[in-house]
Amino acid sequence: MTGIARMFDLTGKRALVTGARTGLGRLAAETLAEAGADIIGLGSEPMPETAEAVVVLGRHFEQHQVDLTDPAAVRAFCDTVDEVDILINNAGQIRRQDLLEFSQEDWDAVVQINLTAAFSLSQAVARRMVNASIAGRIVNIASLLSFQGGIRVVSYTSAKHGILGLTRAMANELAGSGITVNAIAPGYIATDNTEALRNDPDRASAILERIPAGRWGRPEDLAPAMLFLCAPASGYVTGSCVTVDGGWMTR
């Protein structure tokens, strides 16, 4: 194996990926499996397509069904989580409503899955990494709304701002243990979360006009950043947020 190959080799690593059934979570599972990692998929529903894709690549796939909107369920899983080398906090949801009509229920549910569950899982995984002297990797999925206010998505924006702060705070405390914590901020990617926008002709047109690349992103556009931040090559990169947005943030 060449030096470059070793820098991105994940053979023998175990990666826990939340929200691994579809979209960016499935992309993360497949990308890390192709690099040699075994995958633990965590989500609220079965994920047979992800399991098949990982197994076809010759890697082991383990599945846990956990409702991340339920704090008690998250705590129960955290109490039993095994040692892993990589954690991808990807699971999330978005709820849209005018600010003055936004319900407490929608606020609580979105903040719980996008931010609180990510904190709980990161804390549990980091404890095991430290105790086992694992030079681990934690990657949080942020958003362009980690930097902007957005419209009609107050809970999602607040949670994604929080994810960026959480990333930096964890990076400060875990760097001494050889654990890196970074984030990826996807642009407008064609996933379930952006379906409503893509189906709205006016909003879709306005979004595309601002993206210098001139197209919606695809989940696979995030694969290189995902692999880099999980691989040995990124051992001196921590507390960073990589934007993969077709140039959106440059305008």
Q: How far apart are CA 1 and CA 146, in angstroms?
A: 39
Please tell me the distance from the alpha carbon of residue 28 to that of residue 181, in angstroms, as a whole number: 16
Only one residue has tokens 């305008």, namely 251
Question: How many C-beta neighbours within 10 Å does residue 243 have?
Answer: 20
Distance, in Å, from the CA atom of 251 to the CA atom of 241, rounded to the nearest integer, reads 18
Answer yes or no: 156 catalytic: yes
Helix (H) / strand (E) containing 61: strand 61-65
CA dihedral 51, 116, 225, 18 (to 10 degrees): 0
Separation in Å, CA 250 to CA 47, 182, 186, 243, 246? 36, 21, 14, 10, 9
| Rounded distance between C-alpha atoms, residue 157 and residue 92, angstroms | 12
- Residue type present at position 106: D
Annotated catalytic residue: which of 61, 77, 156, 216?
Answer: 156
Residues marked active site are found at 156
